[in-house]
Amino acid sequence: MSITKFCCLLLFWGNVLLLSAQNHQSRFEKIDIQHYKFEIHLNDTTNQIEGIATISIKFLQTGNDIILDLVEKSGDSGMLVHSVKKEGNELDFNQTHNKLVILLNEQAQAGDVLDFTIAYSGVPADGLIISENRYGDRTFFGDNWPDRAQNWFPCVDHPSDKATLEFLVYAPAHYEVISNGSLVEKKQLENSVEFTHWKEDVPLATKLMVIGAADFAVGNEQNYQGIPVSSWVFEENKTKGFENYQYGTKALEYFSELIGPYSYEKLAHVQSKTSYGGMENASCIFYFENSAISDRIPEQLFAHEVAHQWFGNSVTEQNWHHVWMSEGFATYLTHLYLQHFYGDEQFKEGLKYDRKRVIAFSKQKYAPVIDTTVKEYTRLLNANSYEKAGWFLHMLRNKLGDDIFFKGLQKYYHDYRNKTALTKDFQLVMESVSGKDLDRFFYQWLWNAGHPVLKVSWGTETTRKQIDNQEILIQQRGKQLFSFPLEMNIVYEDGSIDLITVMIDKTKKTQRFQAKTTTGIKDISIDPNVKLLYELVE
């Protein structure tokens, strides 16, 4: 290496330290990954993988270097890069602070699309989970969320950069290999090795790029509008597993009709060793291991993960702090699924359950749904991102009405299909469809912490006698004050019932309302139709 190149590398290493602490737009504004082709070699002797990554990169700016994410070798785990080439020519590179810095022999111009081939090997510290299933059989499963893909392949490990991909897997022949996209080729090679080639032509975020290799049985093979659907379970579980995974096309059909066309070439439901209850990898959903053998696997688990194929996968949150756009959507769409197939009561019970979870979480951590203070991204998987965000969508639906809400949902999916979006993008779509300014609504429920905490009293509780114009006192007792419509069912002493809606103003901690009655109020039921996220206190 020349002295000039050595000095350049020192400069770039310093830049890596600076850039890794900056906003992702600053880090990745120079390049846009177009396509990944990962050749992965698995074996039954060691946990070491051999990899060759061919990455097609578009330069958005003129540049002399590339910085990719890749966890470097440390101790017994991590990846060691052996070579980097561009069009067959060797390039200088360095691995430092879990970044792969590649120096170009000549400056790349804005608009150039260049292919780079990276040969590497190592034992994944995370991301590709190599372990044994409950039967002692060896398995390999990608488990990338939120930014763990860099543990087993070089990439831009951020949801803002989506790319098409291929996995070319060489594995012992007893494994069946599943991945994203369509099966291109599968063939037997020498020495009991099988080659499996999967290709995904729809751009994905790295969190969704996976392989699964195990002694699978494949069944429940169906088809919906040309989309093949199947179940992949461990051989020992195929009888119970195929029964538990019977919901193959049900959610696929429902969400396709409700939202818009499914984006991917197939849908596989896969028993796995994921660390989550389910992981919505595009076109091949990984479910937790016991899902194939349990006697009580909720149907909503399958609905939730399939809903992600639209929101989270096809329309991807551009930054982790907006993960509610994935989890909140899947949570609420699951409620809609249950409402459609099993009725209003189950829908309302689900919302009430979620409301309890939101209240409980707020007592542990008082934070907004979009919490930009979180740096350990797994902490974003909480009741705010799931249940409170689902409640936000429910309240937005009630604010706009069903026709406008679902029209907006369909337009949002249409406009951002196979792209990335931020909360503001969704807001602008809903504003364009409804003709309403939703800035205060979005800020109050997503960017603002907490929820309405209410105390409701009436009659003698308000220190007045029961009179014709009965007074109802509503107080906000929370840390934050909110504005919202509040539905109340007023039960009068004469047995009559009156459903009224009053507007609660965040500028007033206490508000008084009159309910006209000649017999007095017997009881008041708050939010009888389950439209509001709130907490009631004595």
Domains of the chain, residue spans:
3-214, 235-309, 316-447, 453-536
Q: How far is CA 82 from the centre of its chain?
A: 34
Strand 63-69 relative to strand 182-188, pairing: unpaired
* CATH architecture, domain defined by 3-214: Sandwich (2.60)
Q: C-alpha distances in angstroms, 272 versus 10, 42, 205, 361? A: 43, 17, 20, 29
Give me the residues paired with residue 223 across strands: 228
CATH value of 316-447 in 1.10.10.60, 3.40.50.620, 2.60.120.10, 1.10.390.10: 1.10.390.10
Mean pLDDT of the chain: 93
Indicate the pairing of strand 63-69 with strand 49-59: unpaired
CATH class, range 235-309: alpha beta
Strands 163-172 and 31-41: parallel
What pLDDT score does 218 carry?
98
**Residues 88-110: tens digit of each pLDDT:** 899 999 999 999 999 999 999 99
Say if CB 504 and CB 485 are below 8 A apart: yes
Spatial CA neighbour of 386 closest among 338, 323, 339, 443: 323
Nearest to 261 by CA among 299, 210, 227, 304: 227
**pLDDT score at 27:** 56
Centroid of chain to Cα 441: 23
* Sheet strands side by side (includes 284-287): 216-224, 227-234, 267-271, 284-287, 278-279
CA distance 340 to 506: 35
- pLDDT the model gives residue 298: 85
Low-confidence ranges of the chain (pLDDT < 50): 1-24, 462-463, 465-468
Provide the CATH topology of domain 453-536.
Immunoglobulin-like (2.60.40)
Listed residue (424, 322, 331) closest to 370, CA to CA:
322
Would you say 114 and 102 are in contact if contact means Cβ atoms under 8 Å apart?
A: no
- CB distance 248 to 237 below 8 Å: no
CA 26 to chain centroid:
23
Helices (H), 45-127: none
Of 55, 7, 58, the C-alpha closest to 28 is 58
Closest CA to 237 of 260, 206, 214: 214
pTM: 0.93
Report how far apart, in Å, the C-alpha atoms of 420 and of each of 74, 204, 264 are: 34, 10, 16
**Identical fold between 3-214 and 453-536:** yes
